Chains A and B, each alone.
Chain A
Amino acid sequence: MTIDVVGVTKRFKTFAALDNVSLTIRTGELVALLGPSGSGKTTLLRIIAGLEWPDSGEVRFDGEDALARSVRERNVGFVFQHYALFRHMNVFENVAFGLRVRRGADKLPEAAIREKVNELLSLVQIDWLAERYPAQLSGGQRQRVALARALAISPRVLLLDEPFGALDAKVRKELRRWLRHLHEELPVTSVLVTHDQEEALELADRVVVMGHGKIEQVGSPAEVYDNPATAFVHDFIGETIALPGEVKGGALYLGGHALGLDSQGVADGPARILARPHDVDLADPGATPISGKVLAVRTFGPTRRADVQLAGRDGPVVVEAAVPHGQTLEPGTQVGLRPRRYKVFAA
């Protein structure tokens, strides 16, 4: 099902949670809403679900006005951040809930309910837990119950609010793959809210990066990582080295030195030069205009990072540079930095 969000604005008292947001989600897509807390991503998800109403704007499901329908009638499967399982019902009854509350012509006979619930429980691979209560389940199992419960109403849209937020790293990775697989098996359009960039980049067909109630960029995981549209996206996704520079007469300057780098069409004035640590090479301090003193070198797992202090526009700036394997770098020495790929944004 296609979901169109058109010019949606939502305020909580004086705080603008969403500011004129428009977005189209295509049928069968898995879209991730990615952003820091307070960026409005959860509010947008809840508006799509019908748990929240926008102050202005439209939400359309397959062209039909969704705002005219309440959450009950929208037929969306919603997986809550902390799962919100019914604590006094066992797993089976939790999943059966959406079928049991049906009234009139939609009401299913008990046998059909049992069959459907058992089918769902085996789909999410927890059929052996049917008699357990939520308090007796692990985080990953609760997540599966929440998913099965949401899928019980055969939703055409599946909305997931930080689905892996409360799980430990290993389970998270495993469930991520599994969810992707599930999404491909089912005729469903999925929208996922997360603050975890790795999750969004690995899982989603398209990533919607949000900040301060606005959409900063919509694109494939590769697009938003390699070609961030704004400084916000560059900062938020992946690691970033940020240099406070300046554009003068079309040329880039850092702390008064000309850098000899392309200003990428940014107008004269203060600018930020952003690069990924792995796109910056270490060089001889004399051979490049960017150089500074190594303050410390840290190793974590396969990566090594050096804190390098550079002379910035208004005083020293410390950046984190990647140190390639096999190269030693002593704190206190001078080192040069040469960016291979970088982006310039007006500051």
Chain B
Amino acid sequence: MSALGESAGPAAERGASEGLPSALAQAHAYAAQHRPVRTEPRAVRIALTLVALAFLTLFIGLPLVAVFYEAFKRGWQAYVAALIEPDALAAIRLTLIVAAISVVANLLFGLVASWCIAKFEFPGKTFLITLIDLPFSVSPVVAGLVYVLLFGSQGLFAAYLQAWDIKIIFALPGIVLATIFVTFPFVARELIPLMQEQGTAEEEAAISLGASGLSTFFRVTLPNVKWALLYGVLLCNARAMGEFGAVSVVSGHVRGLTNTMPLHIEILYNEYQFVASFAVASLLALLALVTLVAKTILEHRLAEEDR
């Protein structure tokens, strides 16, 4: 767009000075006066762009390349061997299970929370909105610690949990709880503004046409937010799979049992198994890239719906 404008600009001015009809010349003069508000000289614009690109390359591009470079340093065989090793497979399986449970849970929580926040008025609404944002402002390590304090062997509910022989900390439930806590805001945060903007008129219309509450939800409310919902789920999933801090506190780092992929990577790295560590890390990096592409597509869809 800007390149086009630039190449057309000087040519048009030349044409005007070479004795075109006066009305056309005036039109060109008018266009010149009303150039888009972009006063920075070309050199400044290029310099700024280069600085931005340099930062991107240095801080995001290089590390990403480094992950794959380190992972493939010893060739394909070493890479594949690191991934099909039983502990690595267990970590991948655990990560998938944790992500599946917490994404589904947050999908439901997020939908319910944003639905009642956007469509109804009730006391304490502002407080609820603030509460939903809490995981964003609390350190994940603190989040993990809270669960240890609640469900750990010295914790608040320790007696009950021991009596019923339920293990939460240093086991799957603890990891899932911590992940749900950390990823809670993603779906709700996407949906609340959109639902608030859409208001309740369409739902009222549906009910006045004889639809039941459930049918209104599935035929009107849900389709109206489907892209935003997918977007939220995507971000939620990326974070759930990559979460380190909170999970690290509650996991106990039992190899092949309670290690998720990020924890497994850390252990391998600390044991100087760089190739294996970067091989697993490359999976997470791939996930990030896939998420990025899907996110771009979804953003495009969302913008289209906004028209």
Contacts and interface: CB of A to CB of B under 8 A. Distances in A.
Interface of A: 49-51, 70-72, 75-78, 80-82, 84-88, 97-98, 101-103, 135, 149-150, 152-153
Contacts of B257: none
B207 interface: yes
10 contacts: A49-B208, A51-B208, A72-B207, A77-B208, A80-B205, A82-B201, A86-B219, A97-B209, A101-B206, A102-B210
A82 B198 CA distance: 12
Given A80-B204, A82-B201, A101-B219, A87 B224 contact: yes
Nearest to A93: B219
B210 A72 contact: yes
B39 interface: no
Interface of B: 201-202, 204-212, 215, 219-220, 223-224, 305, 307
A72 B204 CA distance: 10
Contacts of A78: 204-205, 208
Given A84-B201, A88-B224, A71 B208 contact: yes
Nearest to A74: B208
Given A84-B205, A86-B206, A72 B211 contact: yes
Interface of B (DSSP majority class): helix
B171 to A, nearest CB: 43
A86 B207 contact: no
The list of the 4 closest CB pairs from A to B, nearest first, reads A84-B201, A98-B209, A101-B211, A84-B205
Contact of B211 (A85, A87, A97, A152): A97
B201 A153 contact: no
B204 to A, nearest CB: 6
Nearest to A49: B208
A86 B220 contact: yes
Nearest to A101: B211
Given A86-B220, A88-B223, A135-B307, A101 B205 contact: no
A257 to B, nearest CB: 55
Given A86-B206, A97-B219, A135-B307, A72 B201 contact: no
A88 B204 CA distance: 16
A147 to B, nearest CB: 12
A149 to B, nearest CB: 7
Contacts of A152: 209
Counting chain A CB atoms within 10 Å of each CB, the highest count among B208, B219, B307 belongs to B208
A75 B208 CA distance: 8
A72 B214 CA distance: 13
Given A87-B224, A101-B212, A149-B209, 12 more contacts: A51-B208, A72-B208, A86-B205, A86-B206, A86-B220, A86-B224, A98-B210, A101-B219, A103-B212, A150-B208, A152-B209, A153-B210
A243 B232 CA distance: 63
Counting chain B CB atoms within 10 Å of each CB, the highest count among A71, A80, A101, A102 belongs to A101
A72 B216 CA distance: 11
Contacts of B209: 97-98, 101, 149-150, 152-153
B251 to A, nearest CB: 42
Given A87-B224, A88-B224, A97-B219, A71 B201 contact: no
Contacts of A85: 202, 205
A192 to B, nearest CB: 16
B238 to A, nearest CB: 26
Nearest to B205: A84
Nearest to B204: A51
A347 B234 CA distance: 66
A49 B220 CA distance: 20
Contacts of A71: 204, 207-208
Counting chain B CB atoms within 10 Å of each CB, the highest count among A50, A77, A88, A98 belongs to A88
Counting chain A CB atoms within 10 Å of each CB, the highest count among B205, B223, B305 belongs to B205
Contacts of A50: 208
A291 B173 CA distance: 89
A162 to B, nearest CB: 12
Given A97-B219, A135-B307, A84 B202 contact: yes
